[in-house]
Amino acid sequence: MPMTRFGPSWGAPICQDLTTVEPPLGQPCAWCHDPISDGDGGLMIPHLPGGPRPYHWQCHTRQITGGANHIRGQCTCCGGTEPPDPPGVTRREAAILAVIAFEDRGFR
């Protein structure tokens, strides 16, 4: 099964190339474990075993870019003292903050 997307477009080129499917409402995101809700956009990514799993687009992006502190060069792997994600936030919140930090650096 190929990768597909669900929900509204978030403006990435991949949104134009993938088949759109119905959102898997209530299923947990494979990264943050929060349920997919009405209005969420994301990807259905094939996994073996078990078939496709949903990811909020922000959660998928967070896995690629790293956390907000990493993007800002503040984490320990960049010579800083902070963990990759800001302390005290949920995984979903960390993903959203990572996207904001990524966009603040001029990326989209």
Q: Give tens-digit pLDDT for 29-73.
A: 999 999 999 999 999 999 988 899 999 999 999 999 999 999 999
Treating both helix axes as pointing N-terminal to C-terminal, what angle do 57-65 and 91-104 enclose, rounded to 10 degrees? 70
Q: Are 16 and 51 members of one domain?
A: yes
Tokens (6 digits) for 84: 């990759």
Domain span at residue 94?
Answer: 63-104
- Prediction pTM value: 0.91
Count of domains observed in the chain: 2
Q: Are 48 and 92 members of one domain?
A: no
Greatest CA span in the chain, whole angstroms?
Answer: 43
The answer to whether the CB of 66 falls within 8 A of the CB of 84 is yes
Q: How many beta carbons lie within 10 A of that of residue 39, not counting itself? A: 8
